[in-house]
A and B are shown apart, each in its own frame.
Chain A
Amino acid sequence: MIEHLFVLSITLFALGALFALCFYKWQMLGNYLSFILAAIASCVNIAIAISVLFNHTAERFNFLLYHAIITYSFLIDSLSAIFILAISVISLIASVYSLGYTKLYVNKRDMRFFGFHFNLFLLAMILVVTANNALVFMIVWELMTIVSFFLVIFEYENPFHRKAGFVYLFMSYICAVFISVAFFIMFSYVKTWTFDFDSFRYAGDIMPAISKNIVFFLVLIGFGIKAGIFPLHLWLPLAHPAAPSNVSMVMSGVMIKTAIYGFIRFYFEFLTPSPPWWGIIILIIGASSAILGILYALLEKDIKTLLAYSSVENIGIILIGIGLSMIFKSYNLMALSSLAMIAGLYHVLNHAVFKSLLFGCAGNIYYSTHTKNIEQLGGLIKRLQVTAPLFLVAVLSISAIPPLNGFVSEWLIFQSLLNGFTIPSVIVKVLTAICGATVALTGALVATCFVKAFGISFLAMPRSEYAQHAREVPVIMYVSMGLLAGLCIFMGLFPVKIMTTINHVNTELLGVNIAHTITSYDWLQTKTLQTNFSEISLKSVTVFGLMFFAITVGAITLINPGFTKKIYKTWTCGISPEPRFGYTATAFSKPFRIIFSNLYRPRREIETTYTVPKYFVKSIVYIAEITPIFEKYFYAPLSRYVLSISNKVRWIHTGSVHIYLVYIFITLIISMLVIGW
């Protein structure tokens, strides 16, 4: 049954891709068809995921195509199912959203390849998380990279977009190299020619410690690039602003999560048992990604770049959960390991939901104003009346404000960090506490960052013509986003359902079932998890909140029934208010630029021109920039070095076909000799 559904969804995606290609004249029709098919396929996948999660049965199926060496084998266990669920929900919504968003490009550019790549991209992600064979995994992984590359450079006339695309492609290839080397090292120990994941599952027992450590680092860098951890995040803030918003929705919402999937597969299945320091490294990387990601997001003015940096931060928080789970596991505290894993995976789902919603809102803003620079916006709350509350929900939930979903995973992360005191090693204990402080700082900075993002773009007065004349987007766009906003609220109010679902993963992966200990009645708690920690119930918070609200409103109305509001201009020291009086994004984040000046290394230039020198100022030009230290001190020297090496070996390239054939021939002979030897 599941197998048929799976084939059905693949077929639907493929058909969708083809439809988009077929229609030359009615391109939009083709695209609509392909988006609708993608949406249906996503629904099918949701059904698959839910049925696997609730029947506790891992589905495996092999497709034998005509070359026998690779079995196209797929496995849907609960871990895959969780990721399929996230991917499909976001795919569904992104497809519906695209129905409206692509109107932006009607008659402006050739849309055929968009639908084609979009469907293949969604398909590739599903295949990545289900592949059960190293070769198949690498093939679909590459497919995912290539089609997403084409989506990133969709508006290829813009040189920045091309640059972003190439950086992305280049880094993705490095990532693929690292992962394949990791697979090969493992293969050299297990020696099963099918390259099946099933054979790798015992690799950890066979491999010597040193090669396990090498594989650990290879995987860390490989998947780390895709996930966008610091300092490998370089491509994220370039690619997300370049891609169309519906694509960034999927890329940031779920594509970078496939790397998290990779981490979990490798570290919890292939390379077990792991030493504690692996988890510690992941924890430290997670914490530093979180803090650095949000610090850069804070100063960003381009809303999509801001969201991209915020993805780096969220990946950091997810990795804190995963790393903590690894640490607990290596100290054999399985229940806590399971709790931390739930925290991490919960954040995976949450981030998928609210980040897609945020990118959707960024798309709405771009759709109606044609700008992504929040300095140019303002006052949109009165013009985009539906988008504004949606954006507010997203902003609140990413800032972990109760009772929305972001808070639940933040709370779970805090609880798992608190449980760090059960670890025997003092240094690790202190580390978990410091990580707690980091997460707290990150949380507060996220709130600041998104107060800025919402406040500057939606509130006050419009700062430009675009913002002045903004109009609400097509209905289909905000309806699809409304679903996501609903999910944000649902996952906040009813976390137990989600947690018990995630718990199935733990039962398979870690062999512990903590479902009955994390939930009591219907509110959340971690009460019996070795420590008597805490319980919360966001549902009751909401109920109490609504009750108090009703009482407050009632009481206030009783005190002064004849209350009137006078509408008047904002007080601006006696002058009539103008848009330029309002605070700007640069000004709002200025305190952070000063406090963290060691990190940002800001550069500012003020140029004043006078009509009468020194007294009457004509204009002031103010330039403030920050130095991206990673680009400047890590990537720039690296690329210089690579370029100089390439210059030295340039003589190999003669341009003659014969010489190239000689190279291939020699390589072939040598490799045959090596194999024979």
Chain B
Amino acid sequence: MIQLIILPILQIVVIAGLSPLIKGFINNIEARFQCRKGSSLFQPYYNLAKLFRKDAVISETASWIFIATPYVTFVSILIIALLVPVLSSTVPANFTGDVILVIYLFALGRFFLALSSLDTGSAFGGMGGSREMTISSMAEPAMMLSVFNVAIINGSTNLSNITQAMLSYKLLSPSLFLSLAALAIVIIAEAGRIPVDNPFTHLELTMIHEGMILEFSGRYLALIEWASCMKLLILLTILVNTFLPWGIASGLTFPGLIVSFFLYIVKIGFFAFLIAIVESSFAKVRLFRIPNLLGTSFVLAVLAIITHYIVS
């Protein structure tokens, strides 16, 4: 019984607490690749703390949508954190929803962000919103197909059941491997990392996600920044705990959770490192080349389904 209360809280604490660290880690690694010393690993925490204490400036054109957006985005991400297996493959809130709900909750946050980007009446916001919606639309089919494949192989769309089923595999089957590749590309697009979007850019015309949130300040900006860190971590968690769940605890035992926590850190750290490598070695692709990239991901996902259906 106590498990039903502690585990969800633990999940949210881990996701919300670790996510700025992952961002700091990626930034730091990238700085080192560029032969800089880089900012502290904890810089994102300082930024958030600073932003939370600041007052906000709001455009006079903006309406209540603009104020509501940070909360909607943040809350939708928190709900997702409830549904994703993080440290234990048991997820007490499993009945609440499955991976399809997760995808559509991401859509909820994105929907409001895109609306608020139009709300202030600045051209940059609209541009960011339009591009974000474009990229996410292009990413959706590949994402859904790879999720379909995993769901069909494991007989469930609930993430916790998927993780439990995956634990019995010794090695990824070829079909799952293709799904993994497809999902990895999609995650880069969804999280807005290079080569799809540059999170560090300050040139208005190249911004996508940053363009959308240009007008936010103070606590609103903090909520959105935090939500986007959490989004990256959640996407990585889904990837890790769906395809490489080995070592995850399956109940709530203290030693199991500790082991699982360290393995989780290692796995997430590995993928964060990969992201840092990709970001340092590729340039952002042109906007209209992104469909090629996502098309590749789609083809991989289709092949994943085909290999599963035809071969096994």
- Tell whether any CB of A sits under 8 Å from a CB of B in the complex: yes
Cβ of B71 under 8 Å from chain A: yes
441-461 of chain A: CB within 8 A of chain B: 441, 443-445, 447-448, 451, 454-456, 459-461
Question: What's the nearest-Cβ distance from chain B to residue A538, in Å?
Answer: 8
**Are A459 and B306 in contact (CB-based, < 8 A)?**
no
List chain B residues, Cβ under 8 A from A590.
130
Q: Report which of B61, B105, B136, B139 forms a contact with A402, defined as CB distance below 8 A.
A: B105
Given contacts A581-B122, A588-B129, contact A552 B223 (CB under 8 A): yes
Cβ of B183 under 8 Å from chain A: no
Question: What's the nearest-Cβ distance from chain A to residue B110, in Å?
Answer: 8
Cβ of A498 under 8 Å from chain B: no
A548 to B309, CA, bound (A): 41
A400 to B97, CA, bound (A): 15
A670 to B276, CA, bound (A): 84
**Are A401 and B140 in contact (CB-based, < 8 A)?**
no
Pick from A411, A525, A579 the residue with the most CB of B within 10 Å: A411
Q: Residue on A with the closest CB to B155?
A: A532
**Are B144 and A459 in contact (CB-based, < 8 A)?**
no
How many residue-residue contacts, CB under 8 A, span A and B? 264
A540 to B97, CA, bound (A): 9
**Are A459 and B115 in contact (CB-based, < 8 A)?**
yes
A502 to B63, CA, bound (A): 40
Cβ of A438 under 8 Å from chain B: yes
List chain A residues, Cβ under 8 A from B71.
549, 552-553
**Are B60 and A444 in contact (CB-based, < 8 A)?**
no
**Are B59 and A569 in contact (CB-based, < 8 A)?**
yes
**Are A533 and B157 in contact (CB-based, < 8 A)?**
yes
**Are A444 and B115 in contact (CB-based, < 8 A)?**
no
A interface residues, tally (CB under 8 Å): 86
Cβ of A101 under 8 Å from chain B: no
208-254 of chain B: CB within 8 A of chain A: 214-215, 218-219, 223
Given contacts A418-B152, A587-B130, contact A448 B97 (CB under 8 A): no
**Are B151 and A565 in contact (CB-based, < 8 A)?**
no
A570 to B57, CA, bound (A): 10
List chain A residues, Cβ under 8 A from B56.
563-566
Cβ of A594 under 8 Å from chain B: yes
Bitwise interface map of B from 117 to 128 toward A, beta carbon under 8 Å scored 1, else 0: 111111101110
Bitwise interface map of A from 525 to 538 toward B, beta carbon under 8 Å scored 1, else 0: 10000011111111
Cβ of A560 under 8 Å from chain B: yes
586-608 of chain A: CB within 8 A of chain B: 587-592, 594-595
Question: What's the nearest-Cβ distance from chain A to residue B104, in Å?
Answer: 5
Cβ of A163 under 8 Å from chain B: no
**Are A429 and B98 in contact (CB-based, < 8 A)?**
no
Q: Pick the interface stretch among B38-46, B76-84, B256-264.
A: B76-84
Q: Report which of A414, A429, A441, A565 forms a contact with B55, defined as CB distance below 8 A.
A: A565
List chain A residues, Cβ under 8 A from B288.
591, 594-595
Bitwise interface map of A from 425 to 440 toward B, beta carbon under 8 Å scored 1, else 0: 0100110011011111
Cβ of A583 under 8 Å from chain B: yes
Q: Report which of A426, A439, A536 forms a contact with B101, defined as CB distance below 8 A.
A: A536
Cβ of B53 under 8 Å from chain A: yes
**Are B155 and A572 in contact (CB-based, < 8 A)?**
no
Cβ of B199 under 8 Å from chain A: no
Q: List 16 A-B contacts (CB under 8 A).
A: A401-B111, A402-B108, A437-B142, A444-B107, A448-B137, A451-B129, A455-B119, A461-B61, A533-B151, A533-B156, A535-B98, A563-B56, A566-B56, A567-B58, A567-B60, A591-B130
Residues of B that sit less than 8 Å from A by CB: 52-65, 71, 74-76, 78-79, 82, 93-98, 100-101, 104-105, 107-108, 110-111, 114-115, 117-123, 125-127, 129-131, 133-134, 136-145, 148-149, 151-152, 155-158, 161, 214-215, 218-219, 223, 287-288, 291, 298, 301-302, 305-306, 309-310
